[in-house]
Structure 1
Amino acid sequence: VMDCDTTGIEPDFALVKFKKLAGGGYFKIINRAVPDALRALGYREADIAEIEAYAVGHGSMKQAPGINPGSLRAKGFSDDKIEAIEKGLKSAFDIKFVFNKWTLGEDFLTGTLKVPAEKLSDMSFELLPFLGFSKAEIEAANVHVCGAMTLEGAPHLKTEHYNVFDCANPCGRIGKRYLSVESHIRMMAAAQPFISGAISKTINMPNDATVEDCKSAYMLSWKLALKANALYRDGSKLSQPLNSALISDEDEEADDAIETLVAAPMAARAAQISEKIVERIVERIERKREREKMPDRRTGYIQKATVGGHKVYVHTGEYSDGRLGEIFIDMHKEGAAFRAMMNNFAIAVSLGLQYGVPLEEYVEAFTFTRFEPSGFV
């Protein structure tokens, strides 16, 4: 909004980000200070364009190594199917998300490419390995099309200039460099004497940060007399506004570690989880979550509100321990269709609550959504 490249006097979260659009969808952006920095370092415009394309991707497989129109034609792809793939690549996070039955059609996959019909409904099925492309070929094409999301390894960029573009987190799948947590804290400590209150800045820690790293960060903050320290470990929330990397699906070592963790006793499992702050699902529960029905006699309350001049009544039902278990929404003036829609929305939320969906998830999902009727509450 303010044409700023970072959110304040702090290092950037990542050079390339996926930004969520208010109307749905995402688009990929690179920090606009990158081209200016490269010019200041003496790089030519043609070199800058290639470096930027390396980071964000070309959005096309026409010149891609390994997987390109020529290699796809050799596998049986027609020109119209290649064109359909090209259209999908412009906004793709990963090329494997474009090679699917929705882009190519089930008839083409089963008829021309001889993909077994049962494979099309298998969520783990990937078309490119099935067609004989190696992991290295897929990764090389992916970097060309979707970008490396880092400047490490970019053409023409000198190694001694890498530190100019270091960020708060390792960038992309292949990025290794990042600014230390200590550098964030010492930067804040330099500014703290000139600020009466605490500094509103989040220190972004990499995905592999440990409990000890967090302890050390807070201890250093205390020693340097900071009034606050907000730590955030990349990927530790269900959703976050900016993502710097896509986690690879083929992390075999991590999968092996999960199997070992699941086989361990409960006490040992808890110790390992608390120590490593793992965020994967480490316990596989085979049975479905059962519905916790509401008691026949229940407590609750009625909340009256006015939204844009329309009266709204929210009725709640609670479990014996005070947890919310159901809601009913009544509109004073709206027509039958809208009132029925609100009633069914309330029923859907109530069923989710009774099947164990946390209330906070609904709040986070629907906060800042807007539709008529709307206005002051």
Structure 2
Amino acid sequence: MTETTSAGSRARRKNKGLKIERIYTTPGVHPYDEVTWESRDVVQQNWKTGETIFEQRGVEFPDFWSLNASTIVTTKYFRGALGTDARERSLKQLIDRVVLTYVKAGKEHGYFASDDDADIFEHELTYALLHQVFSFNSPVWFNVGTKSPQQVSACFILSVDDSMDSILNWYKEEGFIFKGGSGAGLNLSRIRSSKELLSSGGTASGPVSFMRGADASAGTIKSGGATRRAAKMVVLDVDHPDIEEFIETKAREEDKIRALRDAGFDMDLGGKDITSVQYQNANNSVRVSDEFMRAVEEGTSFGLRARGTGEVIEQVDARELFGKLNQAAWECADPGVQYDDTINAWHTNPETGRITASNPCSEYMSLDNSSCNLASLNLLKFLKDDDTFDTETFQKVAELVITAMDISICFADFPTEAIGDTTRDYRQLGIGYANLGALLMATGHGYESEGGRSLAAAITSLLTGAAYKRSAEIAGVVGPYAGFARNAEAHRRVMRKHQAANDQVRTLDAMDSGIHAAATKAWADVISSVSATASATPRRRCSRPPGPSAS
């Protein structure tokens, strides 16, 4: 295809745009005009000393917002120095700062069929945020529409190699990510173990020793400036020669906490002596393989492999190692477990690279040097007065939100060029939900019951199917993501796996049956849409590469 033809195709797609459907709003009526606003004083005190640690009076919120919600937004998300005119003081300012940035980018990059569709998008997104139907991840609230780099992703996956340059670069990249209000994860398994030699003839330090420096950095840097502590994930493969040291690292540090506490030191969270304890700023996970789990089942030995050559340098009892992992998790809740073969079997982009790690909370797993923008739908907002679930509205909101999330990649800044390139080429989005437990209780489902699991499965399947369906529709307007073509067959295979998993959901009552029927329809649409997308012209990167300001 010639460049001229490609440009013509892109122009036709841009003119096509998305038709945006009204969900909650009324033509000619702004969402702000439909609620009652009130002035509140937000004052926080240290629970130990009574000292006032935050105060902003006269902030504006809807009267139906809880005191807790308005306090969180005022203290965490309002931008500008306290006591100055630059400080935000109304929820309207916060929502407008975010929503209008999304609308502007959506117009610039051809997402909307008309200006009317852009206006509807603005009002629907405003309504949904105003009424707590969903929320973006925190970096959106911290950064979008401000003079700071517009880092919109909460989750990053980094890459580190077995060199000092790469290890020190890991420290730097994490620092920039934490500064922007986000979290990062990475796999340290490429780093030589403490049982292997350096080229100079000495013995390598091993990944656990380098974790100390990264942990200290994370403990020092507050995300978003002054909003919360950094979040990080460290992963090590189960065949790494230092795996036992990694497994027991945090459990032994907690032994230290108890000993120091008993000796009279201040070991409370935030206490003046807690900083002497290491590895407390990260979640740790062991990456286990099917080979290792079969060895556990069969009670056989398992080989730990040198990082450079891949040769087995030590044999361990698989069950004994797995027992130590479970003991440590029982003692201190770390490490977790990630099932490497299963994760990569559901990978939509395996031709580009394997999935080796996750973000700090493990809800995002993708390529190295990538990021993911997140949002969560509030399930209780879809429970109707007659105690039925509003399936149709839930799907419409999911499609609205995934549209906004995709737009965000067009204007987002990224901490490194590699992360920016990967994110723009693969456009990773993570849509989820909150208040599942409350929904189950409100509908009379036991949290651990067949009915509860059935309802949760149906909702999850519909959310995922609706997101992929809208993603395919966006691809039809602005083109598929740049990495799609080389991974098209794998992408289709994973979509079929999702469809098959949806078919296996067993419904038990009218509520989950209705949701599941909508999910089944959504997955059928996804399969047909992905096939039609295979020959489409990929989109060009729709944003500038990061400059110095993004770092």
Give the structure-2-normalised TM-score.
Answer: 0.22
Higher RCO, Cα 8 Å, sep 6+: 2
Bigger radius of gyration: 1
The answer to which structure has the higher helix fraction is 2
Give the structure-1-normalised TM-score.
Answer: 0.29
